[in-house]
Amino acid sequence: MSNVSSLSSSSVKIGRLTVVGLGLIGGSFAKGLREAGVCGEVVGCDADPIARRLALPLGVADRVTADLAEAVQGADVIMLAVPVLAMERVLAELAQLDLGDAVLTDVGSTKDAVVKAVDKAFGGVPARFVPGHPIAGSEKSGVEAAKAGLFNHHKVILTPLENTSEEALQLVSSLWQQLGADVEHMPLADHDEVLAATSHLPHLLAFSLVDTLAARSQNLDIFRYAAGGFRDFTRIAASDPVMWRDVFIANREAVLRSLDAFTRDLSGLRQAIEAGDANTLLGVFTRAKSAREHFSTILARRAYMEPMQNQISNFIASPGAQVQGRIRVPGDKSISHRSIMLGSLAEGVTQVEGFLEGEDSLATLQAFRDMGVVIEGPHHGRVTINGVGLHGLKAPPGPLYVGNSGTSMRLLAGLLSGQSFDSVMMGDASLSKRPMGRVAKPLREMGAQIETGDDGRPPLHIKGGSPLTGMDYVMPMASAQVKSCLLLAGLYAAGSTSVVEPAPTRDHTERMLKGFGYPVRVEGAKVTIEPGHKLSACKIDVPADISSAAFFMVAASIAEGSDLTLEHVGINPTRVGVINILRAMGGDISLENQREVGGEPVADIRIRSARLKGIDIPVDQVPLAIDEFPVLFIAAACAEGRTILRGAEELRVKESDRIQVMADGLQTLGIKAEPTHDGIIIEGGQLQSGQVDSHGDHRIAMSFSVASLRASGDIRITDCANVATSFPGFVELASSVGIQVRLEETA
């Protein structure tokens, strides 16, 4: 690498680049680097005289030759861009030449075959050989299709070997990066397996489908009337046949594995069509549709519903005036989770209306799809669940990923402990720090075999087929999640399972089980369930979430002149702490049109602004307002006098340490807020402008948006992407009633 001058890894310059094989990929690589001014000279080598002749006027190379020895002389980097099976011949020739310190790299679509060819030619893989594969291309081929920007924003996979030189690797990475590519490293075997499934198999299918149809007698008509579907699906059948022939020969084993799996699934579909099995067809199609819709997250190696962790999403909230209007906030998160769980375990078809299309409840939905339940929607809050019965779940194909959702993980832990199959549950960075010992411990006492990560954190590994025995459990903390987890395990346990709670917690599981016709005994603080009954499908109308409504209740309370009505809000007595606390602070809140919907009480809540005063929050209200404290702290900051919260240590283990994070944010905004081990002391005052970090916690982000109504200037709130876990459309809805919050524009 004599002429390599390294300024920074992204702007490395080299003397001479030789590209062997002036097709679409080689030509684009050469042209892109040449135009970027990365190389002193670009030499193109190709046996085809037409390719050589075209290369110069197209700006692909400075010089072309058919002679390999001449081409590689004095090269700093030699890029091999010939079809995979032609590599062997080119490599054998190269091995005879003096390559100096040149770095050798390639773009072959299958890496094992190329590395073997290098090994054979050189009698060992040289350290300066860097195997690579750009995941870019086009159905067009030949140097005439070369584009300098072909690799921009595309992935390039490098599969370095143990002995690959770090310096050579850096150099090749830098060249790709200078073409705008996103460079990733992958073990060689993984590369070939993954590409067999994601690239090679689809190409095979496209070639095959077009060939099959072209051979049919009415082929002209078929092609004439072939509209979008056929055209979209078969675009890649126009790709370079020689290149693809080589790929299938070279990556034989991995392609056969993918092809076998596909053939098996395809014959499953054939059988379903033959048998008129609509449910199987719908199951495959709904799973595929949701997978396709979430390709972007999947491609970025995030699981289905993980929020865009890398996506920067900050809010700017500006001082506002009044909060006015009539709105309906999205559906209740707790009830939405449970509707999917119990609907899946029921016999028959459950219809859900008002389902929360937030990332947390969608994670639960996906988990059940992964366990074979056919679920249609959600579409405008409507979900149709084709229940499989208590014993109808199937082993998921891989770990269940529940994103940010503690409720999914804890409730599912109970349910999965009673299944015959093994399962693994994992979550995002925030959930991976949250305690799971609170469910793992009692489940183990029931006979479940569960392994947690370090210190009782996720992931959870649950062994299937472990017989469970019911027990009486006195919960050490007031947790609806723990209670619900054990009740769900109790469906599968021998004998009765009862849970005693130290203080009332939300009882949606108990109510919904009854709604599905499953007997549950509630005696004071004790809930008991027994196995041996079944759940029968029903209709569920999910009320608006009081936890989401809470932001607007506080907003309208603190913004002078406000008058706001929140429609159809769930006012289950185990959830109304926020109303009780705000009223105790002097809030003007009335419940109108109270009614019962599917076993849950609902009302329209009217809030008018009021002068709030600080209070000592009654400890018995803590579990009833557990998720609403971040926004209640904003109310306290706007109230006259001191507000004291005690007995709320649970807040420290929510999506963030909500005591510390809120205290930090309030202090930044000029409010005296003193965290204690189990609560906080807040002195009401004037909120200033400033920047607060939500720590990726949806409720913190929304709380500080509300705070802006009474701030002296803008509040910038960072790390807000997770608002989508519980409240999709928050910014729009808040803006529509007068809260001046917007997404910060990214540069």
In angstroms, the CA 708 to CA 665 distance is 12
Nearest one of 400, 479, 404, 417 to 451, comparing CA atoms: 417
CB of 724 to ligand S3P, least distance (A): 15
Q: Are 681 and 642 in contact (CB under 8 A)?
A: yes
Contacting residue, 479, 528, 572, 656, with ligand S3P by CB under 6 A: 479
Whichever of 503 and 644 has its CB closer to ligand S3P, that residue is 503
Whichever of 475 and 493 has its CB closer to ligand S3P, that residue is 475
Q: Are 360 and 407 in contact (CB under 8 A)?
A: yes
CB of 480 to ligand S3P, least distance (A): 4
Interface with ligand S3P, residue 480, by CB under 6 A: yes
CB of 356 to ligand S3P, least distance (A): 11
Nearest one of 115, 118, 140, 104 to 27, comparing CA atoms: 140
Whichever of 627 and 719 has its CB closer to ligand S3P, that residue is 627
CB of 228 to ligand S3P, least distance (A): 43
Residues 6+ apart with CB under 8 A from 427: 401, 402, 403, 404, 405, 406, 409, 434, 458, 459
Whichever of 627 and 697 has its CB closer to ligand S3P, that residue is 627
Interface with ligand S3P, residue 413, by CB under 6 A: no
Whichever of 336 and 557 has its CB closer to ligand S3P, that residue is 336
- Residue at shortest CB range from ligand S3P: 334
Tokens of 435: 């305690």
Question: Which of the stretches 3-11, 88-96, 238-246, 480-488 binds ligand S3P when contact is defined by CB under 6 A?
Answer: 480-488
Q: What is the DSSP letter of 536?
A: B
In angstroms, the CA 696 to CA 10 distance is 31
Interface with ligand S3P, residue 698, by CB under 6 A: no
Interface with ligand S3P, residue 626, by CB under 6 A: yes
Contacting residue, 109, 407, 528, 609, with ligand S3P by CB under 6 A: 407
Exposure class string for 191-212: b at 16+ Cβ within 10 A, else e? bbbebbbebbbebbbbbeebee
In angstroms, the CA 602 to CA 595 distance is 5
Interface with ligand S3P, residue 184, by CB under 6 A: no
Whichever of 85 and 477 has its CB closer to ligand S3P, that residue is 477
Interface with ligand S3P, residue 627, by CB under 6 A: yes
Whichever of 74 and 435 has its CB closer to ligand S3P, that residue is 435
CB of 144 to ligand S3P, least distance (A): 59
Could you confirm whether 627 is annotated as catalytic? yes
Interface with ligand S3P, residue 255, by CB under 6 A: no
Contacting residue, 364, 484, 548, 621, with ligand S3P by CB under 6 A: 484
In angstroms, the CA 241 to CA 434 distance is 52
Interface with ligand S3P, residue 112, by CB under 6 A: no
- For residue 295, how far is the Cα from the chain centroid? 10
Count the residues of the shown chain that bind ligand S3P, applying the rule CB under 6 A. Answer: 11
CB of 484 to ligand S3P, least distance (A): 6
In angstroms, the CA 63 to CA 141 distance is 21
Whichever of 464 and 647 has its CB closer to ligand S3P, that residue is 647
CB of 655 to ligand S3P, least distance (A): 8
**Could you give the string, one character per residue 117-156, with x where binding to ligand S3P holds by CB under 6 A and - elsewhere?**
----------------------------------------
CB of 208 to ligand S3P, least distance (A): 48
Whichever of 71 and 480 has its CB closer to ligand S3P, that residue is 480
Task: Indicate the pairing of strand 563-570 with strand 600-608.
Answer: antiparallel
- For residue 150, how far is the Cα from the chain centroid? 28
What is the greatest pairwise CA distance in the chain? 90
Whichever of 479 and 572 has its CB closer to ligand S3P, that residue is 479
CB of 570 to ligand S3P, least distance (A): 12
Q: How much of the chain is helix, strand and coil, in % rounded to 5?
A: 40, 20, 35
- For residue 516, how far is the Cα from the chain centroid? 31
Helical axes 698-707 vs 629-638, angle rounded to 10°: 20
- What letter represents residue 270's amino acid? R
CB of 713 to ligand S3P, least distance (A): 32
Interface with ligand S3P, residue 173, by CB under 6 A: no
Q: Are 186 and 148 in contact (CB under 8 A)?
A: no
- What letter represents residue 614's amino acid? G
Residues 6+ apart with CB under 8 A from 379: none
Is 448 exposed, middle or buried, given 0-12, 13-18 or 19+ CB atoms closer than 10 A?
A: buried
Interface with ligand S3P, residue 657, by CB under 6 A: no
- For residue 732, how far is the Cα from the chain centroid? 22
Question: Which of the stretches 153-161, 223-231, 478-486, 595-603 binds ligand S3P when contact is defined by CB under 6 A?
Answer: 478-486
Question: Which of the following is catalytic: 106, 545, 604, 627?
Answer: 627
**Could you give the string, one character per residue 315-354, with x where binding to ligand S3P holds by CB under 6 A and - elsewhere?**
-------------------x--------------------
Question: Which of the stretches 256-264, 384-392, 474-482, 584-592 binds ligand S3P when contact is defined by CB under 6 A?
Answer: 474-482
Token match 């963030």: residue? 656
- For residue 241, how far is the Cα from the chain centroid? 36
- For residue 309, how far is the Cα from the chain centroid? 9
Whichever of 259 and 503 has its CB closer to ligand S3P, that residue is 503
- For residue 369, how far is the Cα from the chain centroid? 15
Interface with ligand S3P, residue 579, by CB under 6 A: no
Q: Are 501 and 487 in contact (CB under 8 A)?
A: no
In angstroms, the CA 692 to CA 698 distance is 13
Question: Which of the stretches 58-66, 136-144, 246-254, 473-481 binds ligand S3P when contact is defined by CB under 6 A?
Answer: 473-481
CB of 604 to ligand S3P, least distance (A): 23
In angstroms, the CA 126 to CA 369 distance is 47
How many CB atoms within 10 Å of residue 683? 17
* Phi, psi (degrees; rounded to nearest 5) at 320: -125, -175
Interface with ligand S3P, residue 506, by CB under 6 A: yes
Provide the β-strand partners of residue 424.
461
CB of 571 to ligand S3P, least distance (A): 16
Contacting residue, 419, 423, 481, 725, with ligand S3P by CB under 6 A: 481
Whichever of 344 and 479 has its CB closer to ligand S3P, that residue is 479
What stretch of H or E contains 546?
helix 546-558
The residues that touch ligand S3P, with contacts defined as CB under 6 A, are: 334, 407, 479-481, 484, 505-506, 626-627, 650
Report, as residue numbers or ranges, the catalytic residues. Answer: 627
